[in-house]
Amino acid sequence: MRYTDGKVHDITIAYIGGGSRGWAWNLMTDLAKEDSISGTVKLYDIDYDAAHDNEIIGNSLSMRQDVKGKWLYKACETLEESLKGADFVIISILPGTFDEMESDVHTPEKYGIYQSVGDTVGPGGIVRALRTIPMFVDIANAIKEYCPDAWVINYTNPMTLCVRTLYEVFPQIKAFGCCHEVFGTQKLLSKALQDVEGINDVPREDIKINVLGINHFTWIDNARYKDIDLMHVYKQFVNKYYETGFISDANDNWMNNSFVSAERVKFDLFLRYGIIAAAGDRHLAEFVPGYWYLKDPETVREWMFGLTTVSWRKEDLKRRLERSKRLKIGEEKFELKETGEEGVRQIKALLGLGDLVTNVNIPNYGQIEGIPYGAVVETNALFSGNKLKPVLSGKLPDNVNSLVLRQVYNQETTLKAALKKDYDLAFSAFVNDPLVTISLKDAKKLFKEMLENTKKYLNGLELKVLYL
């Protein structure tokens, strides 16, 4: 890398999952809008053609006069080639295909278990983890061999176990996981400020919060805007909209978009525990007993959010593939829209181009009390010249921490099961999940069927028949 006049040149970014038609395009967008850094992005994907398409799209973008950030995009045929010489590694992969995800999400429905996302916890999240962990073992070993000093940014779910696996395999790795769910809660606090106090258009970055918890089950116990205590403001906001829900955009509400909600799960958790649940309702609902919010589709509708079907994801993939073709041949112009992501800002801060405090997923070094040392947690952290320092966040209330700890220990059990290829240990995590409220006999049948549907990715996890 070269530093000149407050800019950094010749940076090398390795992008694992570089054929992505989502996160990769977000990265391209944010790099294109930033003129203080430049270099090469090496795209690696098991689908080389997809990475090559992004090479063409990215280089076409860099040639435009309206683009500030000039980057060379290069598709790589091997993971080794992409990692050699990398200063930063970005991991954004789909573990398996949407066929496996369809089993994760929808097979449990045969037994009356409903999941609104199915990629972090619940039966779907656990099975997804069992096929993802072996992939991250390989990635961690490759990083250790080819670019041990690189900063590693993970976007893949299940976030906690992906980051945890990287550190388990390569303890000296400089890795962290990024998730934008907390950003959405900051935006909601900005809307609460407008609704209750009449203060308009406050950027989410100006909402100062203390974050603590685990990915997709994060909490805020302190929030301020200048000298205004937003915990008090939020309480008034919740009381006002608890029954009706809060819909800020009538053209994009939970009834026609399963990725949004009317925030009623957040509101309910706030009234139960007195602190702010800081993730989307679809994720939050999966961390607590299934009969609270996910008992059946009718219950889900009562709480005013949606179940994201994998059939929708498959149709969306078709649309993105078609868009990729248009972008590749220049039939469609690549629009530089706001992505809402912070990856490039984090890279800049690590390069010494200004400090940044934001939420990330890293091992617990004591930044959260009451959660085991080494477990991956989500808190604020300070990014500055080649350093990442967690911010001390305190302790969750005991009644919230008990919910979090159940998931922490279950995630640790899942990790051990995948690494040891231990079917029985994996099942013990599966049956202990709060969404698995069926009989032990049915749980064994369901687990066996779900593993059978994803066995090609399990890397030797024994598919023995449990006693039924």
Q: Which residues are catalytic?
A: 180
Sequential DSSP letters for 58-98 = HHHHHTSTT----EEEEEESSHHHHHTT-SEEEE---SS-H
Omega before 158 within 30 of 0, i.e. cis: yes
| CA 138 – CA 308 distance, rounded (Å) | 30
User: Would strands 37-44 and 71-76 be described as parallel, antiparallel, or unpaired?
Assistant: parallel
Count how many residues are written for the chain.
Answer: 468
User: Do 180 and 209 meet the contact criterion of CB atoms below 8 Å apart?
Assistant: no
What contacts 250, CB < 8 A, 6 or more positions away? none
| CA 310 – CA 89 distance, rounded (Å) | 28
Give backbone dihedrals phi and psi of 295, rounded to 5 degrees, phi first: -60, -45
What contacts 231, CB < 8 A, 6 or more positions away? 221, 222, 223, 276
Nearest to 410, CA basis, from 368, 372, 466, 370 = 372
Nearest to 66, CA basis, from 348, 333, 345 = 333
Instruction: Enter the DSSP assignment of 287.
Output: G
CA 123, distance to chain mean position in Å, is 18
User: Do 65 and 37 meet the contact criterion of CB atoms below 8 Å apart?
Assistant: no
Amino acid identity for residue 50 in this structure: A
User: Do 299 and 293 meet the contact criterion of CB atoms below 8 Å apart?
Assistant: yes
User: Do 421 and 462 meet the contact criterion of CB atoms below 8 Å apart?
Assistant: yes
Give backbone dihedrals phi and psi of 273, rounded to 5 degrees, phi first: -120, -15
Phi-psi region of 69 (alpha: psi -120 to 50; beta: other; left: phi over 0): beta
Phi-psi region of 446 (alpha: psi -120 to 50; beta: other; left: phi over 0): alpha
Nearest to 31, CA basis, from 1, 67, 63, 55 = 67
| CA 87 – CA 151 distance, rounded (Å) | 6
